[in-house]
Amino acid sequence: MKGLNRRQFLAAGAMAALSSAAARVAAGSNATSANNQSLPWRNWSGGVVGYPEGRLAPSSEAQLADYLAGTSGTIRPVGSGHSFTPLVPTDGHIVVLDKLTGLLSHDSEKQRATFAAGTRLADMGMPLKQVGQGMFNLPDIDRQTLAGACSTATHGTGIGFKSLSGYISSLRLITPQGEQLDIDAQSNPELFRAAVVSLGALGVITRIEMQNRTPYRLKQRNWVEKTEVILSQFDQQAASHRHFEIIPLTHSDYSLVLATDETDEPINNPPTSPEEDAAFGAAMRGWMTLPPEQRRPQINALAQFIQPSERVDDSYKILSSVRANRFNEMEYSLPKEAGAACLLEILATIADQKLDVVFPLEYRYVARDDSMLSMSSGHEDHVAISVHRVASEDYRPYFDVIEPIFWKYGGRPHWGKIHTLGAAQLTELYPDFARFQQIREDIDPRGRMLNAHLRKLFVGDS
């Protein structure tokens, strides 16, 4: 069996879990019901539901500003709905940014480009290449909007690379009062540090200027290695490659390893055959017929059978991909020196408690930044660890067991991914949390941008 890239590996895990869950009751969503008759809004995974009184899809910044200035009540901006936390649901109004898209301008000398906030990441790579630019890094899912990804500190991998918000050079924010603010680090450094990762709590971002570089190609190599062995080498490998990460298999001793570097080699990125994808998915579904405590020998045997592979393509085609199979996710960042111990404890807990999990984990490094609320803000680089559950299954029993392990190691939650923390805990985790609160209250004194979830995060309401 040939090597598999991240997308194929995680997709196979999702399909296996979906097949196993077909006979179960899909009672695991975080969906809520309402008595009103408004048209529901759902996030990408289907687990978060809201019933807004109304929707606005502005075709211009001026239309949005007039709307905010002339209305009252709660407002929540909407990107692609790829957050698994209830950042959007409100019984007020949602602002959908689907009409504010595309490349607006670029600066060839400074290697910067400005995009409308609703632009999908998948739609940025080619326009940037055409103007001689490429993004430094990207997260591994390309469906997200630029504003949504930046506002939740979404990131890719690489010890030398910050989250996506770390490459913002300026942005435009329409405040809840309809005022237009153009913000950069030079004119208003403190507001800039708050606005680049704001969870939509300061207003509606309408455009973002990104610092880029020249276009480039990447070569990604995949192989399978014992998890404890690769963890012992992780710092050295992460320093040796532009991007380096592992995808640990649950109920197994092995991980898929991905090492990615710049290259001048010609593009060579053929798709895997349907037969190969089907064979791997079938093998993973076979695991699910066994009790969790009996899976390790079979999974280890299959892992050893996977052969190394490599692919070459434009950077944005290697770094990001489509995830067709829906899931829910929890992710925490923690100081990288605690990463290996945390990961091994999670894997051991899954095995010891015989948790029925087939979806693999993700383990990667992210460089620190100086924004107020990025999960990697501060004085040290971080490791990000992700756990997943297919969308048709109840994630809560699994995530409820794993989340306290993250707390034990000082973890900070990804804002767009499932967690249970509130204002009291978050104040302890973020040195600038109180200052962000002051800025938020100055810009939005009536709390128009706060729904129930953001009130829990910033005010402490349950």
* Domain final residue, candidates 374, 398, 413: 413
pLDDT value for 21? 46
In angstroms, the CA 223 to CA 225 distance is 7
Return the residue matching tokens 């199979």. 325
Neighbour count for residue 39 (Cβ, 10 Å): 8
- On whether residue 88 sits in a domain, the answer given is yes
CA dihedral 151, 152, 153, 157 (to 10 degrees): -130
Is pTM, for the whole model, over 0.75?
yes
CA distances from 179 to 55, 73, 174 (A): 20, 17, 6
* CATH number for 203: 3.30.465.10
* Domain final residue, candidates 180, 214, 248: 214
Return the residue matching tokens 């690379």. 161
- On whether residue 421 sits in a domain, the answer given is no
**Do residue 161 and residue 183 come from a single domain?**
yes
**Do residue 240 and residue 387 come from a single domain?**
yes
Render 50-81 in DSSP notation, one character per residue. Answer: E--SEEE--SSHHHHHHHHHT--S-EEEESSS
Contact 134, 214 (CB under 8 A): yes
* CATH number for 68: 3.30.43
Strand 204-211 to 243-248 pairing: unpaired
The tally of domains found in the chain comes to: 3
Q: Which two tokens stand for residue 60?
A: 């211009």
**Do residue 297 and residue 157 come from a single domain?**
no
- On whether residue 32 sits in a domain, the answer given is no
- On whether residue 154 sits in a domain, the answer given is yes
Report the number of secondary-structure helices (H) and strands (E) in the chain. 15, 18
pLDDT in tens, the chain (462 residues): 555 555 555 555 544 554 444 434 333 344 443 445 578 999 999 999 999 999 999 999 999 999 999 999 999 999 999 999 999 999 999 999 999 999 999 999 999 999 999 999 999 999 999 999 999 999 999 999 999 999 999 999 999 999 999 999 999 999 999 999 999 999 999 999 999 999 999 999 999 999 999 999 999 999 999 999 999 999 999 999 999 999 999 999 999 999 999 999 999 998 877 777 677 677 777 777 899 999 999 999 988 888 899 999 999 999 998 877 899 999 999 999 999 999 999 999 999 999 999 899 999 999 999 999 999 898 789 999 999 999 999 999 999 999 999 999 999 999 999 999 999 999 999 999 999 999 999 999 999 999 999 999 999 876
**Do residue 199 and residue 242 come from a single domain?**
no
* Domain final residue, candidates 372, 397, 413: 413
**Do residue 225 and residue 304 come from a single domain?**
yes
- On whether residue 422 sits in a domain, the answer given is no
**Do residue 173 and residue 302 come from a single domain?**
no
Return the residue matching tokens 């300026």. 170
**Do residue 237 and residue 346 come from a single domain?**
yes
**Do residue 142 and residue 282 come from a single domain?**
no
**Do residue 207 and residue 343 come from a single domain?**
no
In angstroms, the CA 51 to CA 30 distance is 14
- On whether residue 33 sits in a domain, the answer given is no
Residue 64 sits at φ, ψ, to 5 deg, of -65, -45
In angstroms, the CA 53 to CA 90 distance is 8
| CA neighbor of 247 nearest in space, from 225, 279, 273, 269 | 225
In angstroms, the CA 369 to CA 375 distance is 9
Contact 448, 72 (CB under 8 A): yes
Q: Domain of residue 113: give its range.
A: 103-214
**Do residue 207 and residue 134 come from a single domain?**
yes
**Do residue 220 and residue 365 come from a single domain?**
yes
Relative orientation angle of helices 396-408 and 339-352, to the nearest 10 degrees:
150
Contact 128, 134 (CB under 8 A): yes
| CA neighbor of 358 nearest in space, from 402, 299, 305, 277 | 299
**Do residue 228 and residue 339 come from a single domain?**
yes
Q: Is 166 helix (H, G, I), strand (E, B) or coil?
A: helix
- On whether residue 430 sits in a domain, the answer given is no
- On whether residue 340 sits in a domain, the answer given is yes
In angstroms, the CA 147 to CA 404 distance is 30
Beta bridge partners of 174: 180, 204
